A and B are shown apart, each in its own frame.
Chain A
């Protein structure tokens, strides 16, 4: 059992190679480097058809008519379906609120909404047929921001809401509202020597996973369907799909195909139902693969936000109060908006101690693209704003920005604005200290004997500067992210672990429904099984719905929750194996009854190191198998009026130092280094942990300087749905990312571990922005900053 704040040590498993704490290599690595790993878009079936989706060309309109006759008459076309062809009474789905029509019904609410689907024998045939479907729209005014959403005569994005949030929201165009009030901001304001205010804008970020939405639906003889799919949560998909397909859940089988990244963008359904509908309609396997253009419409984005902050402090730098209002644009459908509101509000003041807070977060319904889960989930937008505020406050107080943060940093035992105590290590000041102590990258690295190396300068290969106008800046930020599903959600996972002798060797098989999306959960599961069962060989069974739910690969939760489930199942298997051993060999050696027994290196040993038996002999031809659900500590919802409540189960902290060089004349930025320090509780696989931190850091960099889905405010249409105009960082945009990993155990979590994936995405963005502010002296109240924002030409 780990002890809070103390590095975890192992008893069981310490003598077995390839267990936790080692940087074992990915079990799917060889397949991935040889091109043999089967991603969802690689699926192929004899006689399969191709599905195509027709999407709305306008953002908000009544559908006057749809004429599919010409499309249906196209040779090679097997099916064309619209809302009227749906097989069941249930025709909507959604993660929390079932507000999303499978195909548009009467009205479209955002640009790119699915209106009709086609199956044909070649993708081009399907595309041509889809283009022949005639849809007549009568356009409606578009809701695009808070003002238009809440205007007295505003059109309602959803006319007949009956979800569980409608009772407490101020307007039907507000999905959810969460206030959090603690202490007394009005009187705290009196104590403040300094007050800084800010209004911040966070642009719409896309997950931009590289593997587009895709899958293959195969009709089955019993009238059911088998879907091979890239997703983050098989069972959540299943729960939403089955009712719409008019099938019981046991007739919808799901197998996880290879997933080309996710980052939140596969938490909602995309082509799942459409492929199954077409397969069931035609009786043939149907494959759907989005192209990049369609992918921008096929999944939710990170909520863009407007954030209004007021920070007060005494002259010596102690925070007196924070008041803030966070307005998230949820777009046309709810998706994960309510939970994003919960995070943005409850983590809205950051990892700081402040007794008097007044927070309000809302998510709007608009006709903009639907927004939902993305790495960092609500905490990202808030962190950008509160860290900008901390810098502003430090400047006003004449203090060092890191010292101001450390002075107000939370520690274990501190209360969140929700009144919940942080009951595990919270090394916020220490992370800042570590990241600040790292050596600075050398100045003017672009200078070489042959002149300036433009690859190392802002503008890169575009040859815009040979050093002219280039100014260095340094910035810091720190953030707090919750781990796991919060607010009373029953967050559990299931693992089935089997141990048997195969080929004269004890082998463990781990079967979960966890979606491996690249994060390395499969690596860690094998490590846990080796540690807990003392075996060398572990087989990871493909994820599917023949085992219980693993929950989502999101919220930095899988190593904690499914890792916890695997650990738990392994422990139960171990007990059964030992029981078997006691029955078989107990009579021959007293240690079976008296000593603490461990499984190490394929043997049963005593804690004193005496070998009692080979597992091969203990198991014989028996197989030991356990399937168990495992839960983390329960959480509770936030009070709808005060926001009080023990809503979270764990926190993850990371701090960044960004060093940038800005071509101040052209407004071009080169990030030179993005150093990160993060507490991970226990690094089960250090190589993967560092990979997660570097990847998350880079996504934060992207939204700092280039990434934004641009939506035309007049039409609510997406203006840049392509990798030509939605830019993500290349290897020339990404700096060295030194990582300092701290391992202070959280004794509530398996091995003391802490979720890793999201925290680095939070603080990376504000650190880069702070560094650019440092270089330019500009205020910069939005992200991403583009050249026009740095040159006064926006």
Chain B
């Protein structure tokens, strides 16, 4: 079947989609967006978390056909998403000018220096919340959405909001640090 879906603001079309394919498979294998990860494909790990019409969902549990005509935001579009939020005068965003203050300090070839990042992406780098990084895209989408709803989360709020995202490397401590950091860096009273 044919599928039309808007991903990260861009209309996309995929042909010959098998009816049993998940949105995750379509994103990864057909639309060239492998950022959303395939760790469990049973809704247990959150690595494939995307926003579907604004709502965080496990893209592995969305049948491709169910995404027809809908809007999807993936980790690849997170920086743009954050920028639009701040431009829209959204309640809690951080402008990218501000975000740039925390650009990665690394100076190595692989840093992707100069890449625009959302505040939560930057905070994950700065706090050491990334090890193997496989859980990171899903966590970023989930954490970004939580901060959008709840700019001043308690530790228990953060843990609850991220309880659907498994990480096997970090023991979550640095992830907690990263989300706290991203929350603290939000301009107050916007």
Contact = CB atoms under 8 A, between A and B. Distances in A.
B133 A34 contact: no
Contacts of B65: none
A695 B42 contact: no
Nearest to A522: B110
Nearest to B123: A33
A694 B168 contact: no
Interface in A446-477: 453, 455-456, 460-461
Given A33-B121, A697-B171, A27 B106 contact: yes
A536 B136 CA distance: 28
Nearest to A292: B40
Interface stretch (A86-94, A209-217, A617-625): A209-217
B42 A724 contact: yes
A540 B134 contact: no
Interface stretch (A196-204, A309-317, A490-498, A512-520): A512-520
Given A210-B37, A723-B42, A520 B131 contact: yes
B174 A210 contact: no
B107 interface: yes
Interface in A21-37: 23-37
A33 B134 CA distance: 10
Contacts of B137: 33, 35
Interface string B21-34: 10000001100111
Contacts of A732: 159-160, 163
Given A25-B106, A540-B110, A698-B171, A291 B41 contact: yes
A27 B110 contact: yes
Contact of B74 (A35, A41, A261, A291): A35
A700 to B, nearest CB: 10
A654 interface: no
A212 B24 CA distance: 15
Interface in B48-83: 74-76, 78-79
A537 B107 contact: yes
A38 B33 CA distance: 11
Contacts of B158: 731
A42 B162 contact: no
B75 A736 contact: no
Interface in A555-581: none
A26 B106 contact: yes
Given A30-B115, A33-B125, A289-B38, A518 B165 contact: no
Chain A's interface: helix, strand, loop or mixed, by majority?
Answer: loop
B150 to A, nearest CB: 14
A144 to B, nearest CB: 28
Contacts of A259: 132
B132 A518 contact: yes
B108 A32 contact: no
Category for how many chain B residues contact A: 35 or more
Contacts of A297: none
A730 B139 CA distance: 12
Contact of A37 (B105, B126, B133): B133
Given A210-B47, A695-B169, A728-B168, A30 B125 contact: yes
A261 B134 contact: yes
B104 A30 contact: yes
Interface in A129-151: none
Contacts of B20: 124
Nearest to A507: B109
A211 B108 contact: no
B72 to A, nearest CB: 13
A261 B125 contact: no
B174 A691 contact: yes
Contacts of B40: 292, 722-723
Contact of A260 (B79, B134, B163, B176): B134
B169 A32 contact: no
Residue with the highest number of chain B CB atoms closer than 10 Å, among A210, A259, A734: A210
B96 interface: no
A27 B159 contact: no
A374 to B, nearest CB: 12
A352 interface: no
Closest 8 CB pairs of A and B: A35-B35, A518-B132, A260-B134, A32-B133, A694-B171, A698-B171, A30-B112, A723-B44
Given A33-B75, A698-B170, 11 more contacts: A30-B111, A32-B130, A42-B34, A210-B39, A263-B168, A518-B133, A539-B108, A691-B173, A696-B171, A732-B160, A737-B171
16 contacts: A23-B128, A27-B109, A30-B106, A39-B37, A44-B29, A124-B20, A124-B21, A210-B166, A211-B134, A260-B37, A292-B42, A455-B160, A691-B169, A723-B44, A734-B171, A737-B171
